[in-house]
Amino acid sequence: MNDKTILVARRELVENVRTKSFWIGIFFFPILISAAIVIPILVEKNKEARRYAVIDRSGWLLAAIEQTEGASLAASRFVREDVGGDSAAALDPEALLEDLNRRVGDQELFAYFVIGEDPVEGAGEFKYVSSNLTDDGLLRWFEGLASEVVRARRFAASDVDEEVAAWVQKPLRFTPRKVVKGGAEEDVETQDKVRQWAPAVFAYVLWFAVFMISQALLTNTIEEKANRIMEVLLSSVSPLQLMAGKIAGIAATGLAMLGSWVVFFYLATKLIPRAMGVEPSFDLSVIATDPVFIGSFLVYFLLGYLLFAALLVGVGSVCNSLKEAQNMQMPVTLVLMVPLFLLMPVAQDPNGTLARVASYVPPFTPFVMMNRAAGPPTTFEYVVTTALLVLSLGAALWAAAKVFRIGVLMTGKPPRLAEILKWLRAPVGQVPERRE
């Protein structure tokens, strides 16, 4: 890069930094991240203990439930209120139900249960009354405990040996274990689950950034053409210097934005939970400092951006208005949409056939490989896909330079694809024929 290219790049950067959309871009992501961290903490903190009541017509089930281990574990989440002693007979049953309905309706109680006369036989009325049937945590928890107690009774009633009963009831559990390189097993931690899904999030942010920044380049090129400033610039710099400067300047804008996002992501995951007095079950900030994630994120941003920048700067140079450009850039946009649709399938099966094949398609490589970071892909794949990407990047930049050189001085209707292909074959400085 020479001085003039740097001058052009610097001007692009300064002009972009002065725009509102740059600052919206800078702050949009941090606000999103903060919200994603703060809101769940707030919700968790403000979740009140569910107050509930039980009318136990069996006379024994409630007491038995309260003695289980599960009941004492959830004592802070679910708080039972007494309703005039355990024996329902102490009060007029109709009046009691009416009173409970009123209290549930007034939100004094979250819900109440009615236990029928003979739970072992299933005789009698069993019901759960609440004003909120979507949040069924309480119902599931109570049902689970009640079933456990009743099951034990049933075994006892049918003369099954207590040990046999326990054996029959014992569920089969699979312990999740993770195999690391070399075949050694490790316990699965929450962190590993985050690692599994973080690449998909990163790939999405990557896609978003590439899309946004390369669009900025396109708009900017067209504005320069519409402003008629192109030729003034071309009397001082060569088209190649101008193009390189524009691409570099907008890349710097994008990197500044992404850099701020990464720094913010680190600070937010580190500081916000602490500031709110919550000890996070795992430390998200380790991802922000993971060189594999952050390194490949920035490298893939740069490569992905450059590839699409080359395509869009070519499109921009032959268009005279944004409207024309919207039509012309359709094929590029369609290609760029594919990795977005691949996001979920690849995240679920990072080393599957689809993910592997897509990795070798240069326009998809940055997004798919980022998405596969949890796999992770083999070194061979990293090397070959990156080489392919760099090669096609070189070809795209070469073609863009040729189109740009001719396109920027052109007015009138945009050329057809066949014409552009002719430009690519023309030697430097020659302008092939065009029919108006």
Partner 1 sequence: MANALTLDGVTKRFGKVTAVDRLSLAIPQGSIYGFLGQNGAGKTTTLRMVMSILYPDEGTIRVLGEGNAEAVKDRLGYLPEEKGLYKKMTAAEILTYFGRLKGLGASAAKGRARELLRRFGLEDWADEKCEALSKGMGQKVQILGTLIHDPELVILDEPFSGLDPVNVDVMRDVILQMKRDCRTVIFSTHVMEQAEKLCDAIFLIHRGRKLLDGPLSEIRAAGDHGIQLDYDGDGRFLAELPGVERVSDSGKHAEIFLAAGADPQDVLARLVGRLSVRRFDLREPSLHEIFVHAVGGENHE
Interface contacts to partner 1, rule CB under 8 A: 4, 7-8, 11, 15, 18-19, 227-229, 231-238, 409, 411, 428-434
- Closest CB to partner 1 among residues 140, 228: 228
CA separation (Å) from 247 to 9, 90, 130, 314, 321? 7, 83, 61, 11, 19
Of 196, 214, 200, the C-alpha closest to 368 is 200
- Closest CB to partner 1 among residues 284, 318: 318
Of 146, 141, 129, 133, the C-alpha closest to 74 is 141
Which helix (DSSP H) or strand (DSSP E) does residue 24 occupy? helix 20-46
Q: Tell me how far apart the alpha carbons of residues 378 and 357 are, in angstroms, rounded to a whole number.
A: 13
CB of 395: closest distance to partner 1 in angstroms?
Answer: 24
- Closest CB to partner 1 among residues 6, 267: 6
CA separation (Å) from 193 to 122, 177, 268, 376? 41, 12, 20, 14
DSSP class of residue 48 equals P
CB of 323: closest distance to partner 1 in angstroms?
Answer: 19
- Closest CB to partner 1 among residues 319, 373: 319
Tokens of 63: 């007491």
Q: Which residue has the tokens 């990293």?
A: 382
CB of 19: closest distance to partner 1 in angstroms?
Answer: 8
The amino acid sitting at 43 is V
CB of 333: closest distance to partner 1 in angstroms?
Answer: 27
Q: Tell me how far apart the alpha carbons of residues 303 and 295 are, in angstroms, rounded to a whole number.
A: 12
- Closest CB to partner 1 among residues 224, 381: 224
CB of 21: closest distance to partner 1 in angstroms?
Answer: 12
Q: Which residue has the tokens 């039509």?
A: 327
- 320-348: b (≥16 Cβ within 10 Å) or e: eeeebbeebbeebeeebeebeebbeebbe
Q: Which residue has the tokens 């871009």?
A: 25
Compute φ and ψ for 378, nearest 5 degrees: -75, 160
Tokens of 71: 């009941």
The four Cα atoms 142, 145, 148, 149 give a dihedral, to 10 degrees, of: -100
- Closest CB to partner 1 among residues 11, 103: 11
CB of 429: closest distance to partner 1 in angstroms?
Answer: 3
CB of 10: closest distance to partner 1 in angstroms?
Answer: 9
CB of 266: closest distance to partner 1 in angstroms?
Answer: 33
User: Beta-carbon neighbour count of residue 138 at 10 Å?
Assistant: 20
Packing angle between helix 3-17 and helix 190-226, nearest 10 degrees?
Answer: 110
Q: Which residue has the tokens 């070469």?
A: 398
- Closest CB to partner 1 among residues 24, 35: 24
* Direct distance between the N- and C-terminal alpha carbons of the chain, in angstroms, rounded to an integer: 37
- Closest CB to partner 1 among residues 267, 410: 410
CB of 430: closest distance to partner 1 in angstroms?
Answer: 7
CB of 187: closest distance to partner 1 in angstroms?
Answer: 57
SS3 assignment, position 306: helix
- Closest CB to partner 1 among residues 196, 238: 238
- Closest CB to partner 1 among residues 188, 431: 431
